[in-house]
Structure 1
Amino acid sequence: MKTKFIHFLRLVFPSSYTELAIFLFFVTCYGILGSYIAIHYRIIFDNRIPWDAYFSFDNKSILMTGGSFERHPLSYYFFNWVREFSLFISGGKMDSTFRLTLAWLSNIIISLNIIQVYKYVRNIIRLPFNLSLLIILFFGVFSTNILLSFTPENFTYTLFLLSLYNYYAAIKLKKEEKTPALALSLAAISIGGLTITNFVKVFIPVLFEKNLFKNWKKLGSAALRVSIAAICYILLYLNRIDFKYETIFSKTNQQYEKFSNVETMPTWDMILSFFFGGNILFPSFILSDKHNMQGFAFKGLYMDLYSSVFSYLFIGIILILISWSYLKNFKNKWVQVIMISFFIDIVIHCMMRFGLHTSYIYGGHFVFVYPLMLGWLFYAYAGSAKILSFLTVTVSILFVYLLANNWFRMSEFFWFMETYYQ
């Protein structure tokens, strides 16, 4: 038991001096950003604003209720702990100390998410340190990581849990070991409990266990483990809603109708600017007049469609690199696990159009795919110095452009807070 606990700590937290240095770097950078916002502005948490203060995040709603049960079945329990811990630190007051605690919880979680991706590219893909560092720095300035580093939301914790589980599952596949029923159940409850659409992703690695479809015993074992995890999850979900299962269908249909019928923007542009783009590269912003349904008016900030050809070019290059990596590594089981998970989000948001107009906020479900697939692309050309140099230069240029763009857009975000949220 003690050995397993030590292995768990080494899995979740930095386990080498290099990992610790990377963690401290990001926790410091994100911490400075989040601390300044928490102390000087009320945007992270304001009792009067339940949702949509910035980029459709539901900070207060999530903290107080865990979000809607049909989309976030078990997050109510998790955010009770987050809220009570933050209130304990702030002495029961929802003030700047409360906001600061929330920001630092998010900061630590997102920094640990960065570490999970670094562990993956170093220990699973086995890239050299310089390439691993380039990928991590690139990933670290994604708009999703920047925003979630101070935002108390489901996506913040979902991103970390999915990155952690992908690394854990990759280790199991590498060792040709099966994922235990307990691990599957915990992953299903935590990941699926925070956002229901991620539930099925937990079981994808099981499909790639060695000789699964060639051995009836292994197939039966997998079916049993999946069944145990699914039953545990379903029982907890039904208990959450007092076993009134009929409300799941009615509420889910309402949510789908609400978030899928937006005709004001071209679908192709929302897919590029919001689903593939907004999670990485900030577009320009637009202001909106909002109210809390109880007489209080406030300003909301949303992402607009891309207006620069360079933004479309940036996202186009990223998609080419990811597609290139997938085709080159098509027979790689680790790559298939990553991409099947990604395809689930593409189907939900791009094909079914659920939340497509605000799909940049769903980056916590899949944004880790980009650095991992870039890592596998570098791996595929480890023996070709010319292509490796080309890829390194390309990602370096993308990183510089991304850093400059997101730095500029964050300055606009600070103007927004300075004007409306002091």
Structure 2
Amino acid sequence: MKTKLIHFLKLVFPSTYTEVAVFLFFITCYGILGSYIALNYRIIFDSRIPWDAYFSFDNKSILMTGGSFERHPLSYYFFNWIREFSLFISGGKMDANFRLTLAWLSNIIITLNIVQVFKYLKNIIRLPLSLNVLIILFFGVFSTNIILSFTPENFTYTLFLLSLYNHYAAIKLRKQEKTPTAALSLAVIGIGGLTITNLVKVFIPVFFEKGLFRDWRKVGNAVLRGAIAIICYALLYLNRIDFKYQNIFSKTNQQYEKFSNVESIPTWDMILSFFFGGNILFPSFIISDKHNMKGFSFKALYMESYSSVFSYIFVGILLALISWSYCKNFKNKWVQIIMISFFVDMIIHCVMRFGLHTSYIYGGHFVFVYPLLIGWLFYAYRSSPRISAFLTLTVALLFVYLLTNNWYRMSEFFWFLETYYQ
């Protein structure tokens, strides 16, 4: 038990000097950003604003209730702990110290997410340190990571859990070991409990276990592990709603109708600007008038579709890189796991159109895919200096553009805070 605990801690937290350096760098950057926002503005938590203050995140609603049970089945319990811990630190007041605690919890979780991606690049793909640093810096300035680094939301914790589980599952596959029942059940409860659509992603690595379909006993074992995980999850879910399972279907249909019938922007533009782009490269913003249904009016900030051709070029190049990586590494089981997971989100948002008009907020479900696929692309051409140099230059240029754009857009975000949320 002691050995397993040590291995778990080494998996989750930085365990080498380079990992500690990555952690310290990003916790400093995100910490300064989050602390400044928490201490000077009320945007992170305002008891009068239940949802949509910025980019459709539901800070207050999530913190107080965990979100809707049909989409976030078990997050109610998780956010009870988050809220009570933050209240304990702030002395029971929902003030600047309360916001600061929430911001720092998000800082730490998103930084640990960065560390998990770095560990994957280092331990699974085994790239040189210089390439790891370039890719992780690129990933670190994704708009999703920047926003979630101070946002108390389901997506913040889901992003970390998904990147952690992908790293863990990759280690198990490299060692040609199966995912234990306990780990599979915890992943189902944690990941699926925060957002139900991510439930299927937990089982994807199981299908790639060595020799699974060549031995009926291994198939039976995998089915048994999966069944135990699902039963545990289902019992907790049903207990959450007092076993009134009919509510799941009615509420799910209501949510789908509400978030899948928006025609204000062409579908192709929403896919590029919001699903593939907005969670990485900030577009321009638009301010909207909102109210909390109880007489309080406030200003909300949303993302628009891209207005610059350079933004579309950026997204096009990035999609070309990950598509190239997938084709080049098609027989690589680790790449297949990553892409199948990504396809799940594409089907939900791009094909079924659920939340497509605000799909930039769903980046917490999949943005870690981009640095991992770029890493596998570098791996595929590790013996080709020319192509490696070309890829390095391309990613470096994308990083410079991304950093410049997102820095500028964050200055606009601060103008919004200064104007409406002091």
Shorter-chain TM band: over 0.9
Using the TM superposition, give the Cα deviation of residue 355 of structure 1 relative to its aligned residue in structure 2, in angstroms: 0.1
Q: Which residue of 1 aligns with 2:307?
A: 307
Partner of 1:56: 56
Q: Give the structure 1 partner of residue 138 of structure 2.
A: 138
DSSP 3-state at the match of 1:379: helix
Q: Which residue of 2 aligns with 1:45?
A: 45
- Residue 264 in 1 paired to residue 264 in 2? yes
- TM superposition score normalised by structure 2: 1.00
Residue-by-residue CA offset, 1:335-356 (whole Å, 9 max, x unaligned):
0000000000000000000000
Matched, 1:376 2:376: yes
What are the Cα deviations for residues 362-384 of structure 1, in whole angstroms up to 9, with x where unaligned?
Answer: 00000000000000000000000
What are structure 2's unaligned runs of at least 5 residues? none
Corresponding pairs, count: 422
Amino acid in structure 1 at the alignment position of 2:24 = L
Cα separation, 2, equivalents of 1:363 and 1:63: 20
Deviations 1:46-102 (A, max 9, x none): 000000000000000000000000000000000000000000000000000000000
Secondary structure in 2 matching 1:204: helix
1:305 deviates by 0.3
> How far apart, CA to CA, are the structure 2 residues paired with 1:231 and 1:330?
34
- How far the C-alpha of 1:283 sits from its partner, in A, is 0.1
Give matches, 1:18-417, under 5 Å.
Answer: 18-417=18-417
What residue ranges of structure 1 are gaps of 5+ in the alignment?
Answer: none
How far off its partner does 1:411 sit? 0.1
CA distance in 2, matches of 1:348, 1:285: 25
Q: Structure 1-normalised TM-score? A: 1.00
The 1-side partners of 2:54 and 2:139 are apart by: 22
2:306 & 2:384 partners in 1: Cα distance? 35
SS for the counterpart of 1:70 is coil
Q: Which amino acid aligns with 1:319?
A: L
Query: Which deviations, in whole Å up to 9, do the C-alpha atoms of 1:3-44 show, x marking residues without a partner?
Result: 000000000000001100110000000000000000000000
2 CA distance for matches of 1:417 and 1:317?
33
Task: Write the distance in 1 (CA, Å) between the matches of 2:157 and 2:164.
Answer: 11
What amino acid sits opposite 1:393 in the alignment?
A: L
CA distance in 2, matches of 1:17, 1:335: 28
Cα distance, 1:321 vs. partner?
Answer: 0.2
Aligned to 1:419: 419
Q: Give the letter for the 1:49 counterpart.
A: I
SS at match of 1:287: strand
Whole-Å separation in 2 of the counterparts to 1:175 and 1:226: 20
Identity of aligned residues (%): 82
- What SS does the corresponding residue of 2:286 show, helix, strand or coil? strand
Q: Distance in 2 between matches of 1:115 and 1:263?
A: 39
* 2: CA distance, partners of 1:278 / 1:395: 18
Give the letter aligned to residue 264 of structure 1.
S
Secondary structure (helix, strand or coil) at the match of 1:302 reads: strand
Q: What is the distance in 2 between the residues matched to 1:22 and 1:213?
A: 40
Structure 2 counterpart SS, 1:224: helix
Amino acid at match of 2:315: I
Aligned alpha-carbon RMSD (Å): 0.2
**Inter-partner Cα distance in structure 2 for 1:284 and 1:209:** 44
Identify the residue that residue 2 of structure 1 maps to in structure 2.
Answer: 2
Instruction: Report the Cα distance in structure 2 between the residues aligned to 1:320 and 1:304, rounded to whole angstroms.
Output: 23
